[in-house]
Amino acid sequence: MKSHYVLRDFRTLLFVVALWIPWTVVGATCVIKDKVSLQLNWLWQAQFAGFQAASSLGYFDEECLSVQIRQGEATFDGLSEVSEGRAVFGNAWTSGVATTHSAGTNLTVIMQQFQRSGMRIVSRLRPDIQTFQDLDNKTFSGWMVNLLDVSPRAAFTKHNMTNVNLVPQSFTPFKLFATDGTAVDAVSVMVYNELAQIFEVRNPQTGMLYQPDELKIFDLNTLGAGMLEDNVFVRSDWLEDEENKNITRRFLRATAKGWIYCRDNEEACKSMLYDHGPHQEWMMREVNRLIWPSPLGVGFMDPGLLNTTLNMLNITGHLHHTSSPYPLSDSSYMRWALDSLESQGYDVRGQNWSKSQLHFCMNSGETAFHVCDDIEATICPAGYSAIAANQCVPCPPGSFAPHNGTGNSCQACPPGTFSSQNGGLKDPNDYLDEPGGVLCSGCPSGTRVGADGRVICGKVGFEDSLVHLIVANKALVGAWAGAMGLAGFLFFYIKRTEPTADAVIMPSAVASILETILDAVFLNLLVQQGRMNYFAIAVTGFGGHFLLNILIVGVFIHHEFRLGSVRRWTEQHVNALPPVVMLSVMNPELLGILSSKVRGWKWTQAPFSPKGLAALRFSTFAAFVAGKIPQVCVEILILQRDGWHLDPFLAAVTTLALLTKGVIHYFVLNILILYKKRRGNMSSKGSQNGSSLSNIGHVEAGRKVSRSCNLDPGRLRDELVLAKRRVKELEELLRAHGDVENASFPPVLATGKLDDHSPSPLSQGLRDVTNKPNGGSEAGLEV
């Protein structure tokens, strides 16, 4: 008797040690990892995310397990791999395990992760299919392999539907929508896969994705024909070994942790898969809905649901009733794992978990679907937007929603337009914003916008339109005015401080830069607004203007280089020519910088001929006008089509560019300079004979000094110094032409000193200069 108690105590000690060992594995360093394999029932997808999470997050490693997870295929699955000893753990539907077990194969379910069936029967919304019984005498397409047709057949039998025509189904459910005469009335789908495939396809009749309310979906769970599906099983004889029992407990504890993690972190578990798309996001949610809540604990077999599954298999004749020494299901291992996790604070039941089905959206203008919430998935008519699930409200006045569908949002109407329900014209005195606008209407061409939220489309005069145009483009007009102010300032500053310089050149450079910027802005606006026909016209003018400028520059340089003086100057200042030539592509007139005579800088003393410079100015202006004509045509077309109100900025750019160059630059500056030169020619014989810009400059300087004789002596002396500098320039010019003998000047101009006894020394000096043989002739001064 004593030995009996001793033996019983020893067995109790071994049992306690066996229970203690797995507990101590967690957090400890593994000396040796037990290698096992898990064979999945199908390809990698979110259906198996819990196993992937347990592997990726190191839960198997914590249990000292090295788990090889194999994906399944159509040719083999978990049942065959485990039964034949090529895998330790298998994943399959419980109906398959039960049928195999009833045929004498020793298999035991140790974990039942799916707590409800994921199979549905789907038909299109039709008047003749309102209830499940309406499918009698209809054609049903179902999977006829691997016992996947058991649930539908059981449902038909339970509801006395004896005339359903069953046909085989492929992997996809789209025979439901076939238009080639092979369409069926209903199909079988898995809620986490094929049902999503339907919702991911655009309905050709509506232009939107298929919506749940366009289908009739029958849940086999509510029809009393739901069978248990995904589980984990092993060979029953493998479990007889105590070490294998220990491995099983640890495997189930890690797997349960993986499913708990995916319940609380759907996005993270989806990211662990090779496919991160919206389809897997849908599947992850639906798989969780099949697992959670788990009233008995995740993975624990519900005996009532198991009996329902066995009854359906029995009714449909799939059980063989071969006796087996091993049970079909053993939940003791799962119970140990759940108790262990609960003691560590894990929520193994998820009683409070309740998440709704996701939605797919492919809104207007989109080409790919995405997962969306209830609000975005709400279909609203044009002019309405969703504020809650299945609740649409009209767009407020001044906004519009142009399309019918999901993702509708009210957008503000552009300035100068009013929200309209139908786009029709109304009383010109009542252009008010309407609620529920489907588009934004504008005033007809030739009218303009009012203020204070009202759109007054009344006819107005040109002056009023121009004022409105300027007000609507304050920023652009301000920038333009600033640039023109800078050009004017440079003109008067150079004119005052550099009397010998050509004061037009620097303002021309500023105007050219502004003109190029305006052209670029104009073309960019046309592209942004999709006005490619207008863009083609405008860019033709822009490109033509550019090519004409290149031609003008080439002809001018070719003409001037025929003169020996220009060639000699170029040899001495070869570095000054290339950058100015490149700049002159914007405005050929900028070549005049090289002869602008600024501060005595040698590189600005190019002896270009006056005729060449005059031709350069005229050609530049002609090219400008030719290049602007297409842009002006585009502006007129826009104004005629849209009116001032729609695009005042776009309509104004060309006008401002034209004003910038044509009015300010060519009209004001050039006309003033030509007028001043004309006055000089009428009052000076010397200037009539002198045809070069240098000669005109000397005569003008002399005239200034003459007019200053009766003024302030200090200013007179400054003018004389300036005149002396110009006389020296003329002397160098004469020497360059070989007329060194005649290159002598009166002392008053050579020294800059006044002779009190000379009645008019300056006038005499100028007469000497201009009347010398060849001194002012065109032949002697030709450059």
What lies within 8 Å, CB to CB, of 27 at 6+ separation is: 62
Half-sphere exposure of 410 (CA within 13 A, CB side): 21
Specify the pLDDT at position 736.
63
CB 25 within 8 A of CB 63: yes
DSSP for 558-619, please give it: HHHTTSHHHHHHHHHSTTTHHHHHHHTTT-GGGGGGGGS--TT-GGG-----HHHHHHHHHH
Average pLDDT over residues 476-481: 68
Distances (CA, A) of 517 to 505, 633, 669: 19, 19, 21
In this prediction the pTM is 0.58
Question: 156-160, 350-354, 462-466, 726-730: which has the minimum mean pLDDT?
Answer: 462-466
Highest mean pLDDT among 73-77, 386-390, 510-514: 386-390
- How far apart are alpha carbons 291 and 298 in whole angstroms? 7
Average pLDDT over residues 18-31: 53
Distances (CA, A) of 599 to 373, 500, 724: 73, 8, 14
Average pLDDT over residues 698-727: 53
Distances (CA, A) of 361 to 204, 372, 377, 408, 633: 15, 6, 6, 11, 44
Specify the pLDDT at position 1.
41
- pLDDT band at 358; cut points 50, 70, 90: very high
Specify the pLDDT at position 578.
79
Q: Is 104 helix (H, G, I), strand (E, B) or coil?
A: coil
Closest C-alpha among 667, 675, 644 to residue 484: 667
**Which tens digits make up the pLDDT trace of 225-269?**
999 999 999 999 999 999 999 999 999 999 999 999 999 999 999
Question: 3-state SS string over 661-697?
Answer: HHHHHHHHHHHHHHHHHHHHHHHCHHHHHCCCHHHHH
CB 758 within 8 A of CB 764: yes
Model confidence at 738: pLDDT above 70: no
Sign of the C-alpha dihedral, residues 469, 475, 478, 482?
negative
Distances (CA, A) of 559 to 567, 584, 778: 11, 16, 17
What lies within 8 Å, CB to CB, of 728 at 6+ separation is: none
Q: Is 154 exposed, middle or buried, given 0-12, 13-18 or 19+ CB atoms closer than 10 A? A: buried
**Which tens digits make up the pLDDT trace of 713-737?**
555 565 666 677 667 767 666 666 5
- pLDDT band at 221; cut points 50, 70, 90: very high
Q: Can you list the alpha helix ranges (DSSP code H) found in 358-504?
A: 462-472, 474-497
Question: Can you read off the two tokens belonging to residue 507?
Answer: 């303002």
- How far apart are alpha carbons 644 and 463 in whole angstroms? 13
**Which tens digits make up the pLDDT trace of 610-652?**
787 888 878 887 887 777 777 767 766 665 554 443 344 444 5
Closest C-alpha among 607, 604, 600 to residue 725: 600
What 366-375 contacts at long range (C-beta under 8 Å, 24+ apart), as own/partner pairs, is: 369/200, 369/209, 369/278, 370/278, 371/278, 371/281, 371/282, 372/406, 372/407
CB 329 within 8 A of CB 239: no
CB 670 within 8 A of CB 617: yes
Buried b (16+ CB within 10 A) or exposed e, 57-70: bebbebbbbebebb
Average pLDDT over residues 739-745: 48
Specify the pLDDT at position 707.
45
- How far apart are alpha carbons 493 and 485 in whole angstroms? 12
Number of H helices and E strands in the chain, helices first, is 27, 18
- How far apart are alpha carbons 724 and 278 in whole angstroms? 86
Model confidence at 759: pLDDT above 70: no
**Which tens digits make up the pLDDT trace of 298-339?**
999 999 999 999 999 998 889 988 888 899 999 999 999 999
Higher pLDDT, 23 or 153: 153
